[in-house]
Amino acid sequence: MKTILNKLGILILALGITLGITSCKAVDNANNKQKGTVIGATGGAILGAIIGNNVGEGGNGELGAVIGGVVGGTAGVLIGNKMDKQAQKIEEEIPGAKVERIDDGIVVTFDENSGVYFDTEKYNINSISQEALNKLASVFKEFQDTNILVVGHTDSVGSEDYNMILSKNRAYAVTNFLTSKGLSSERFTTNWFGESQPMHNNSTATGRAQNRRVNVAILPNQTMIDDAQNQAGY
């Protein structure tokens, strides 16, 4: 009976957490799937936010393995609450960044208009980008039970080979900057796609600027998942 009551208490707590979710824009836009309450879902939605409409084409197996699946039930709600708080914190610290709560994770998109950008044909972290990444590093230190995926992209100007190298260098520039702030390198996975995964129209200046982007996906690590499952009584 005590075990049943304990589980009932957890379910009531989880319901209260769901009803009391914070009101940041990223959380407001999250549906039940994004809160982690759907059992058996995969990380396809996060892949879509990172690489656009080309999900399912070749070369995405590694990212899918890193992202993993969605934790369901009460544990998923507990994880979702923690990720909601982290998403809100990022929005508060870096107001120019696009922050999305998707499945169990958070996707942050940086382009030329949103806090972290690179000068033309460069991959060094400029002073404006350093300011935003310093704030992001502080959030990662506060919320330690997460893994971080950094993905680089370019527009279609220049050769494919050149853009592939450029996107790699920019992605690693972000990863290396964050790890230089004391974050464990074991939390990071770095990937890059060059010009092959546009999310906007490369025929316009605005579209090209949006395609010159770095995505950061923040995902619950095994410690967070285990803790949530233990709290849920699994």
pLDDT at 28: 58
Residue 143 DSSP one-character state: S
Question: Where in the sequence is the domain holding 227, given as residue range(s)?
Answer: 2-231
Q: Residue 222 — left, alpha, or beta (φ > 0 → left; ψ -120 to 50 → alpha)? A: alpha
pLDDT at 17: 39
Bridge partners (DSSP) of residue 137 are: none
Q: What helix, strand, coil percent values describe the chain, rounded to 5?
A: 50, 15, 35
Q: What are 67-126's pLDDT values in tens digits?
A: 877 888 999 999 999 999 999 999 999 988 999 999 999 999 998 878 788 887 889 999
Give one DSSP letter per residue of 105-139, joined into a string.
EEEEEE-TTSS----TT--S--HHHHHHHHHHHHH
Q: Which two tokens stand for residue 130?
A: 């350093």
Residue 6 DSSP one-character state: H
The residues of the chain scoring below 50 in pLDDT are 2-23, 29-42, 56-59
Nearest to 59 by CA among 217, 197, 156, 157: 197
Per the structure, the count of domains in the chain is: 1
CATH number of the domain where residue 217 is located: 3.30.1330.60
Task: Report the amino acid identity of residue 226.
Answer: D
Q: 0.85 cut: is pTM over it?
A: no
